[in-house]
Structure 1
Amino acid sequence: MSDWRIYRGAGVPHEGIRRLPEPPPWRDFGAPHEPGAPEDAAGADGESARRLGAHRRLVESLHPRPEEVEAVNAALYLRRPLLVTGNPGTGKSTLAHAVAHELGLGRVLRWPVVSRTTLKDGLYHYDAIGRLQDVQLDRAVAGGDPGAGPEARPPIGSYLRLGPLGTALLPAGGEPGAPPRPRVLLVDELDKSDIDLPSDLLNVLEEGEFTIPELERIAEREPHAEVLTADGDRVRITGGRVRCTVFPFIVLTSNGERDFPAALLRRCVQLDLEPPGDEQLAAMVAAHLGEEALQEGAALVERFLRREPGQVLATDQLLNALFLTQRAQGAERVTRDRLAEILMRPLDRPR
C-alpha cells in the first residue's frame, strides 16, 4: 500500500515535497491574470476558471433554481445591483462569474470588503505621497530650482488608479454598431463593512457616476488625465468625472450577518440563495472534479445532502473532502474517513 503522506511527522528532513501532486483546480494559482493577457473563448480568466470549475464546459448544467435565474434577469433588465444573501459556500460569489461566463462579459471585477473598507477604496486611490516625493526628487536633480517648470513634474494621472467600482463605471466600449456591454462587479461580503459603507454606496449606485476631486481641481489647466484601471490598463478621464454609459452588473454578497438600510434594499434586486440541491451539487462536483469523482464520492455527496436540518456546511468543504480522499487512495479506510470528518466539520458546530 503506497504512502500518500508528504509530511510524516518524523522530524527527519526529506524531499517528499517533490511528490506533492497538482493542486485542486479551484486552488490552482499557476496562471494568474495579467493585464492584456488573453481570455478564453467565453471571456473567463484564471479566477473564473477556479470558480466555475476546470470542466466548465459543464457549467450550463448547474441547474440554477428558477428564482435565481429570474432575479439575475431582473437585475439585468432594471440595471440594478443584485443583493445575494446566503450561508457561506452556497455559491453567492460564483453567481457573478457564471453570469459573466454565459454572457461573455469578460473578467469579473472583484471588490472584497473588510471592516476598514471605504467607498473611496472602491472608486480610486491617489498616491499623494508618492507624487510629492517624485516632485522633490525632480527638483533635486534640476539643482534645487523651484521653478524648474511644469515639464519636470510627473503627470498626476501616474499617481491615480481606479478601484473595482470605479473601473466598472467607466464608459463601456464594444464592437462598432453593437450595443455596449456592461462589466461585472462582485462586491464580496458587504455585511463585513463599516456601518457607513452601505449608505455611502447609495448615490454612486443611483447616479452611475463619481468625481475625482484631484482631477477636478486642475481641469481647466489639464482637462484630460491618463489613469490606471483595476485591470491594469490606461484610460483617459476628462474633467475629473467618470460616468457609465451602461450600468454594470453588480453582485453584492452577504452572509446575512447584519441588516442593511432600507434605502439600499430598495435600490437592489434581492435574492436569498438556498444551499444547492441534488442536481446542483452533482453538477458542481462534475464541473470541478469530473464525472468519475462524482461516482467515486457518492457516499460523501449523500452525507452532505442528508446533513441535519439547519446544519451549516459549505460546498467547498465537500469538494475538498472528495479531492483529498481520492488522492489518499493508498491510505486505510479509517484514515480516509477521518480526513472527511476533519474537512466536513459543520461551520456552526460549537468548539
Structure 2
Amino acid sequence: MYRGTGRPLSDIDVGELLPDPPPWRRFDGGPLPEPDVPPPGDGDAERRLGSEFHLAERDVSAAELDMVNASLYLRRPLLVTGRPGVGKSALAYRIARELRLGRVLRWAITSHTTLATGLYRYDAIGRVQAAAARNAAQRAEASEEPSIGEFVRLGPLGTAFLPTRLPRVLLIDELDKSEADLPNDLLGIFEDGDFPVPELARALAGAREVSVHTDDPLGRATVVDGRVACRAFPVVVITSNGEREFPPAFLRRCMRLEMPDPDVDQLAAIVANHTLDADGEHRDRLIEEFVARRAEADGLPVDRLLEAVYLATSGAYRDGDPAWPRLVDALWRRLSVDP
C-alpha cells in the first residue's frame, strides 16, 4: 500500500485498501465524528517534502517499504533510527500525504515531556476563574456555567487516539530526549488503544458526552464517559538518533527501521522536489560536493544541502564569488566535535 514516493493515492479509499487488523489489534472506540474526514494539512508536508514529486519507487529502500507496510497492516508503531538529517521525521509526512491521511500530529519530545502532557491538559485554574466570573455575573443576571470540556485540550498523542474511520498519523519526534520512564509509559496506550480523562469521568453526573478541544487548529471532539478510545489505531512514527537504548518491552511492540544516509539519486530527488534548481546546473555539482564532504564530516544533514542549493540559485552568489567557498564550508561543517 505504501510506495514511498510521496505521491497521493488518487481515487482510492485507504480505509477500503487497508486489510482488517489482526484480532488482537482490533479496537472499537466511538462515537465516530460527523463528518469523519481527516483534517486538512497545515503546510508542514510541503515545507518538509517539497511541492514536486521526483522521488521514484526505485529510489525507496526495500527495508522502508517493508517496515512501513508491516506497521500499517499490524497496527504497530514504527521506530525509525538514523543519524540526524537523514529524513526520519519526513517519513511521517510522506506517509500522510501519500495515503491522504490529513494533518500530521507532531509530538516533539523534550527532557520534561511526560505521558500526561501528550494525552491532554486540564486547565483547573481557568475553570476556577470562570466559576468566579459566573458567580459575579449572577448578581446581575443569570449566566450559564461553561462546560468542563472548555477546559480540556487533548495533546497530539491524545488526539491521535480519538475514534475515526481512518487512522491519524502521529509523529513522536526524538524519543531519545525523553526521561527513562516515557517509553515504558507508552506501552499501555499502545496496547489498549484508549486512556481515561479523570476530570471528565468525575463530571458524568452533568453529561456523559463532553465536547473538548483537540490538538488540531480549532478542532473539537466528543468524549464519552470520560474515556478516549480509538477505532483505527494511528500510524505512529517514532524517531530516534540512536543515542540511547530502549527497554525490550518497548522494542517488542514496535516495528524497527534503520534509515541510512540518502544516496546520490535520493539526494537529487529531494532537491528536485523543492524545485530549487530547475535546470540542474548547480544541483548536480553541489550534490557531488556534498556527498564527498559527508564522507569526511560525519553527520551532515540533508537540509544543509538544500540551503546550499537555494543560495546558489537565488542570485545572491555567483560562480567565482570568493565568499562562496567560505559559506559552503560554514554550512557543511561537521556537526559533531572531536573530544
RMSD: 2.2
Q: What is the DSSP-based 3-state SS (H/G/I as helix, E as strand, rest coil) of the residue aligned with 2:295?
A: coil
Q: Distance in 2 between matches of 1:217 and 1:331?
A: 69
User: Are residues 1:193 and 2:181 paired?
Assistant: no
Q: 2:51–2:274: 8 Å Cα contact kept in structure 1? A: yes
CA contact (8 A) 1:62 1:284 kept: no
- Structure 1 stretches of 5 or more lacking a match? 1-41, 173-179
Match of 2:47 in 1: 50
1:325 aligns to 2:322 (yes or no):
no
The answer on 1:163 being equivalent to 2:141 is no
* Structure 2: gaps spanning 5 or more residues: 1-38
C-alpha separation between the residues in 2 aligned to 1:85 and 1:277?
17
1:154 aligns with 2:158: no
Cα distance in 2 for residues equivalent to 1:118 and 1:329: 46
1:132 Cα deviation after fit? 0.3
Aligned twin of 1:205? 190
- Residues matched between the structures, number: 298
Contact 1:325-1:340 at 8 Å conserved across structures: no
Q: After TM superposition, which residue ranges in structure 1, 4 or more long, deviate above 3 angstroms?
A: 42-45, 59-62
Per-residue deviation, 1:295:
3.2
Tell me if 1:91 matches 2:87: yes
Match of 2:263 in 1: 277
Alignment of 1:301 with 2:293, yes or no, is: no
Which amino acid is the alignment partner of residue 321 of structure 1? A
- CA deviations over 1:125-180 (Å, ceiling 9, x no partner): 11000000110111122239xxx99x6421100001111111111111xxxxxxx2
The corresponding residue for 1:348 is: 336
The CA deviation at 1:60 is: 4.7
Normalised by the length of structure 1, the TM-score is 0.80
**Alpha-carbon separation, structure 1, partners of 2:297 and 2:332:** 15
Superposition pairs of residues 1-351 of structure 1, within 5 angstroms = 44-55=41-52, 57-60=53-56, 63-143=59-139, 152-172=144-164, 180-231=165-216, 232-290=218-276, 292=278, 294-306=280-292, 307-308=294-295, 311-327=298-314, 328-330=316-318, 332-350=320-338
SS at match of 1:84: strand
How many angstroms apart in 1 are the aligned matches of 2:41 and 2:187? 30
| Separation (CA, whole Å) in 2 of partners of 1:127 and 1:265 | 34
Structure 2 CA distance, aligned partners of 1:242 and 1:194? 25
Identity of aligned residues (%): 47
Q: 1:211 to 1:60 in 2, by over 3 A?
A: farther
CA contact (8 A) 1:90 1:273 kept: yes
Letter in 2 for 1:186: L
For 2:169 and 2:72, the matched residues in 1 are separated by: 11
Q: Distance in 2 between matches of 1:334 and 1:310?
A: 23
CA distance in 1, matches of 2:147, 2:106: 28
Deviations, residues 173-221 of structure 1 (Å, cap 9, x unaligned)? xxxxxxx211100000011111111111110111110010001112233
For 1:113, give the aligned amino acid: I
Deviations 1:230-261 (A, max 9, x none): 11211111100111011000000011111111
Question: What is the deviation of 1:319?
Answer: 0.8
Q: Which has the larger radius of gyration?
A: 1
Q: Are the aligned partners of 1:293 and 1:322 in contact in 2 as well (CA < 8 Å)?
A: no
Distance (Å, rounded) in 2 between the aligned partners of 1:198 and 1:187: 11
